Amino acid sequence: QADAALYHAKAAGRSDLAVYGSEMGERMAARRALEARVRAALERKEFEIHYQPLVDGVTHGIVGYEALLRLRSDAGDPIPPAIFIPVAEELGLISEIGAWVLRTATAAFAAIEDGCTLSVNLSAVQFEDGALVPTVRAALHESGLPAQRLELEITESLLLGDSRSVEMQIDALKEMGVGIAMDDFGTGFSSLSYLWKYGFDRIKIDRSFVGALDENPERARDIIETTVLLGQRLGMKITAEGVETAEQSALLTQLGCDVLQGYLYGRPGPIADFHRRDFGT
């Protein structure tokens, strides 16, 4: 946390704040600077969305893209989502930011004819105010994007909240035809009952397990294989995140992951780059 706060200070270009004298003061000032940046970016529409390709495990052709939110400091340096999203959540702004992501990304994808899917990350906090389902419905309606082309990604931490309300919202989204994926599988409180209860369409195996294929091949392989079998048995599709090498790719496909995502196939980038990018391998 302290490292993150100091990171904010640097990212916000406020390393001069050390003049406050105490590390605590520096941290609080850095935090306020980051909060101000998040508020300003929302007001002035300075958030951006980058898109990372998702490829078919066998053909390696692009089947979709994941929308990833981007924010820069006043000095122009990228601030990682892992830093600014929790701040947006605490400020009570994540629903508004999330709605902007949904509207912007669905509008962009409705214009792409080839039918590739759009994946959008949701914060658990977006399930708390009752706005999520109407927001998704409106984004689909206004953009004209078919619901079947939208997939929403949720991390396991979501499931700690009021489960009845979450369950009803997920059911409403599924009824619209939207896909639901469990993101970063294996890193949180991976309870089997969650997978069962919320009826996910897809599991995204966290990139830490994919990375572990290099360091601890047998164990990582066993965990991934078991997850794939579990997901398949429950009728889910499987994506592997963080694929960086051809060796990982071949093994993950062999283990049954139908979609792969990672730097091997493309880094997140602006939508304007789509026509210039060659993801073929």
Report the interface residues with Mg ion, using CB under 5 A. 121, 153, 183-184, 241
Cα separation of 281 and 279, whole Å?
A: 6
Decide: is 80 part of the binding site for ligand C2E (CB under 6 A). Answer: yes
Nearer to ligand C2E, 85 or 224 (CB): 85
Question: Pairing between strand 78-79 and 62-72?
Answer: antiparallel
Using only C-alpha atoms, what is the Rg of the chain?
19
What's the closest the beta carbon of residue 26 comes to ligand C2E, in angstroms? 25
Alpha helices, DSSP H, located in the chain? 2-11, 23-43, 81-90, 94-110, 132-143, 163-176, 192-198, 207-215, 217-233, 246-255
Per DSSP, what are the bridge partners of residue 121? 153
Q: Pick the binder of ligand C2E from 75, 222, 263, 273 (CB under 6 A).
A: 263
# binding residues, ligand C2E (CB under 6 A): 24
Cα separation of 104 and 107, whole Å?
A: 5
Decide: is 81 part of the binding site for ligand C2E (CB under 6 A). Answer: yes
Output the six-digit token pair for 150: 């939208």
At which residue do the structure tokens 């701040």 appear? 87
What's the closest the beta carbon of residue 134 comes to Mg ion, in angstroms? 22
CA 62 to chain centre: 18
Q: Pick the binder of ligand C2E from 73, 95, 121, 253 (CB under 6 A).
A: 121
68 interacts with, out of ligand C2E, Mg ion, none, CB within 5 to 8 A per kind: ligand C2E
Decide: is 262 part of the binding site for ligand C2E (CB under 6 A). Answer: yes
Output the six-digit token pair for 235: 């009728």
Cα separation of 146 and 13, whole Å?
A: 42
Decide: is 272 part of the binding site for ligand C2E (CB under 6 A). Answer: no
Q: Pick the binder of ligand C2E from 13, 188, 268, 269 (CB under 6 A).
A: 268
- Is residue 99 a contact partner of residue 135, using CB atoms and an 8 Å limit? yes
Fill in the per-residue mask, 222 to 261: x = in contact with ligand C2E (CB under 6 A), - = not in contact. Answer: -------------------xxxx----------------x
- Is residue 220 a contact partner of residue 209, using CB atoms and an 8 Å limit? yes
Decide: is 151 part of the binding site for ligand C2E (CB under 6 A). Answer: no
Nearer to ligand C2E, 17 or 49 (CB): 49
Among the listed ranges 79-87, 110-118, 166-174, 220-228, the one in contact with ligand C2E (CB under 6 A) is 79-87
122 interacts with, out of Mg ion, ligand C2E, none, CB within 5 to 8 A per kind: ligand C2E
Q: Which amino acid is at 215?
A: E
Nearer to Mg ion, 145 or 182 (CB): 182
Decide: is 78 part of the binding site for ligand C2E (CB under 6 A). Answer: no
What's the closest the beta carbon of residue 190 comes to ligand C2E, in angstroms? 15
* Those residues with Cβ within 8 angstroms of residue 3's Cβ, 6 or more apart along the chain or in another chain: none
Cα separation of 126 and 149, whole Å?
A: 21
Q: Which parts of this chain interact with ligand C2E (CB under 6 A)?
A: 52, 68-69, 80-82, 85, 98, 101, 121-123, 153, 183-184, 207, 241-244, 261-263, 268
